[in-house]
Every structure is written in C-alpha cells, then in structure tokens.
Structure 1
C-alpha cells in the first residue's frame, strides 16, 4: 500500500510526522506493506515555523493510480498554507483521489482544502474548532455538514479538528488500509 502525503507550504511538521512515524512503525516492526511518499509543488517546501523539508516528488509527477491514500497535514495561514492548499492543481488531485474511492486523511485545517475542492459538499466533516469556530464556519461555507468532534469519517474521508488528533488520524488511516487488529498492535507498540 502506498500513501501520498501532500505538503502544502506552511504545513505543520507535527501533523506531517505522524504519517511517517505510524506507517514506519507498522512497516519496520510488523512488516506491513505501507509505503509513504511525500509530495509538494516543488522539491523543497517550507513548513510552519520555517523548517525546510525535501519532498520525494512534485505534484506534476503524480499518478493517482499508484497510491491507495492521500494524507494532508494542516498548516498556518501566516506561513502561506492556503496559497497552496487552495491551488486548483491540488483541488484536482483531491477530486481524483475521491473519484476513485481512495482514502483521504486530513488533519485540522487541511479539511478546508477538501472543502475548497468540493469533495465534502453535502458530507460530514470537521476542522479546527478553536478561535470562536472561525475555521468550522469557513468549512460550512463549502457546503459541508460540520460537526464538532475530534475525528470524523465520512465514507473514504477522514477529517479532524486540531493538532492533538494527528496521531489518531494516522492510526485511523492505517486501520482503513489494514485492519483494526493490525493497527492495535502498532498502537500498543507505540504506547497508545
């Protein structure tokens, strides 16, 4: 199984690293075939708090058929997150993953990129819940049934409402790709 982790400029490193770590534990300690490929608009992307990260590939090199899931960490507006999260090319990629029924896992405000793409129209999801619900209201404006829960799964799409949920989103993605039993082994090994 292959997971594409998309890194929009200004992504949060904590929300990115959970996909690498959880899948790494699953692969290394339990032999699960879960590979992670990072992707961005360019090879080097600057994360929130100005940490540069080198992506494995760029968006124009992606063939959706090569992947089983798309994972998207959220990010900070002041570090330029929405400039790339709302880019039409990224919206196209999201729509293609959804059209093929592939799993899409987003953390925190990454749900807004899903909303912008239209894949959450008339579906249930969540996003960042603090700051007077401003981000949840933005998600509603994309035609989404927003619920104030830590993690929401609607068919093939996982959304969550803050950085604290990040590791749990990664575990939910692993569970949807493998099984509850296999995921419980990884969670136990990692102390969860």
Structure 2
C-alpha cells in the first residue's frame, strides 16, 4: 500500500512539473505579430502593451484555433469620428476582427476631417457576427438601398450594435420594432416620432435587448462596446481592453440590460 501511495505522489509531482514547464505567457490575441510570440515572465506585451496571460501551450493553441468574432462597421460620409473609433479600439483590443463597409469603395469623409477608405462595398462585404452602425451629420440619410442591405443580412447576423443616431438605420430596417432603444440625447424625440413601435429611453448609456444593443451619443459607444465584449468574451476581456485604453470611466453592467431576443 505504501509503495502505491509513494508511486502516486511521484506521478503527481511529475505531472505538476510537466505542466509548470509547459506554462508560458502570451499576449491576448490582437491580430498583430505579437500573437505568435511566447514570453517567460508576466507583464505588458512589449509590442502592443496588453497584459500577458499565463497559459499552457495547448490552451494557447486551442484559443488561437477559434474563429475570431467578426464585426462589420458600416460607415457613411459625415460619420462621427469617435462614434466608430472608440468602439473600433475596444473590439480590436479584445481580439475581434473588424472591417469597414460603405455604399461603395470610394473614400468617405468623417466630419469633414478624416478621409476613410472602406474595406468593402455593400456589394462585396462578407458576412459578420456583429453589424454596427454609427451617427454623424449624414446619419438621418440612410436610404432604401442601405435599409435593404441591412434586411438582407438580418438572418445571418447574430448581433446589431448602434451608436448615437446609427439607431435610425436599424429603426428603418424594422430591427427596433417592439424593442427598447436609445440614441444621441438631441435625437431622442426624433427617434420616438420616427419609430412609434420602439420604446425610446433617455438618460441611459446603452440598452441591450439581447441581440440588439443601442447606445447614446459618441462616448457612450465605448461603454456599449465594452458591454458587448463582456457579453461575448467575459468581463475580464472587457476590463483588460478598458485598462489598455486607460478608460477608467467604464462601470461594468452599467446601462439597461433586458432579457429576451438572444440568439443561441
């Protein structure tokens, strides 16, 4: 009996030593060159600055084999810079695969300042797990071609995310029917009048209906994006992204979270 116990202890120690040797530190996947690097001590990634995580090589291999969550950012002339740039940083740091789409591949101008070259047009954009729309000077002008495009992708999209008056695009597509939503504070009444089937709230940073998330204006998009990261990848992933961005304003679970309408 003693011999069996001793052999079991030796095997346990050997297994623990093997696992310890297999442990290393890796950068959270951020789609940069540092995704392939291995580190022998904790700390920030020297390339992107994100906090290194300890994993076994097998765990890392499994994580890297997972298909990244894809996010389609629809951008239009006059789009508000921070409306899309804030959430873009959040999703990027959290390891999501973000791409931009517009009506055509022609350059668009954000707030008359920033020239943007879309990755895709509506005609050739790939499917995405998340569809995101944003506000700005031209946000009320989502025409029928854009609305039809949204409708054509509804069945193959898991989540819909809007910032500021980007909610008007989803309202026109019927995605906000019988749901609760919010938007930029100066456009609350406009959203109410335009979409009487939608319950529109003011004084809330974001509203989560399950698979439809709308946020208030500009900076509130960062809060909504962090909430969606926490929802899809866990609160620690959102906290790491917020810390990396030095966004100490974020309060987890802030906003209105409703049940229902969640896709499996």
Same fold (TM over 0.5): yes
| CA distance in structure 2 between the partners assigned to 1:188 and 1:124 by the alignment | 30
**In the alignment, which residue of structure 1 is the partner of 2:136?**
75
Q: Secondary structure at the residue paired with 1:188?
A: helix
8 A Cα contact 2:185 2:216, kept in partner: yes
Could you say which structure has the greater relative contact order, defined with CA pairs below 8 angstroms and 6 or more residues apart? 1
Alpha-carbon offset, residue 101 of structure 1: 5.2
1:2 correspondence with 2:56: no
> Given the two structures, how large is their TM-score scaled by the length of structure 1?
0.82
TM-superposition CA deviations, 1:88-133 (whole Å, max 9, x none): 23223333444335111100111011111111111111112236x4
Residue 29 (structure 1) aligns with: none
Q: 3-state DSSP class of the match of 2:177?
A: coil
- Tell me how large the CA RMSD over aligned residues is: 1.9
Instruction: From 151, 162, 167, give the equivalent of 1:95.
Output: 151
Helix, strand or coil for the counterpart of 2:164? coil
User: How much does 1:61 deviate?
Assistant: 0.5
SS at structure 2 position matched to 1:113: helix
Structure 2 residue aligned with 1:158, among 188, 213, 219? 213
Which residue of 2 is the match for residue 105 of structure 1? Answer: 161
* Displacement after TM superposition at 1:176 (Å): 3.0
TM (norm. structure 2) is: 0.61
Q: Assess if the C-alpha contact under 8 Å between 1:112 and 1:138 holds in 2.
A: no
Measured after TM superposition, the shift of residue 15 of structure 1 is 0.8
1:57 equivalent among 109, 115, 120: 120
What is the CA deviation profile of residues 125-158 of structure 1, one whole-angstrom value per residue up to 9, with x for unaligned ones? 1112236x433333443x2111222210111111
Partner of 1:177: 232
Instruction: Find out whether 1:138 has 2:138 as its counterpart.
Output: no
Residue number in structure 1 paired with 2:100: 38
Give the total of aligned pairs.
Answer: 177
The CA distance in 2 between the partners of 1:47 and 1:89, in whole Å, is: 21
Contact 1:105 1:158 in 2 (8 A): yes
Q: In the TM superposition, what is the alpha-carbon distance from 1:59 to its structure 2 partner?
A: 0.8
Q: Residues 173, 139 of structure 1: CA spacing in aligned structure 2 closer, same or farther, 3 A cutoff?
A: farther
Q: Which runs of 5+ in 1 are unaligned?
A: 27-31
1:113-124 to 2 correspondences below 5 Å: 113-124=169-180
Q: Which has the larger radius of gyration?
A: 2
- Asked if structure 2 preserves the Cα contact closer than 8 Å seen for 1:73 and 1:106, the reply is yes
Structure 1: distance between partners of 2:193 and 2:216: 13
Per-residue deviation, 1:10? 1.5
Partner residue, 1:48:
111
Post-superposition, which runs of at least 4 consecutive aligned residues in structure 1 deviate over 4 A?
none
Q: Is the 8 A contact 1:101 1:156 kept in 2?
A: no
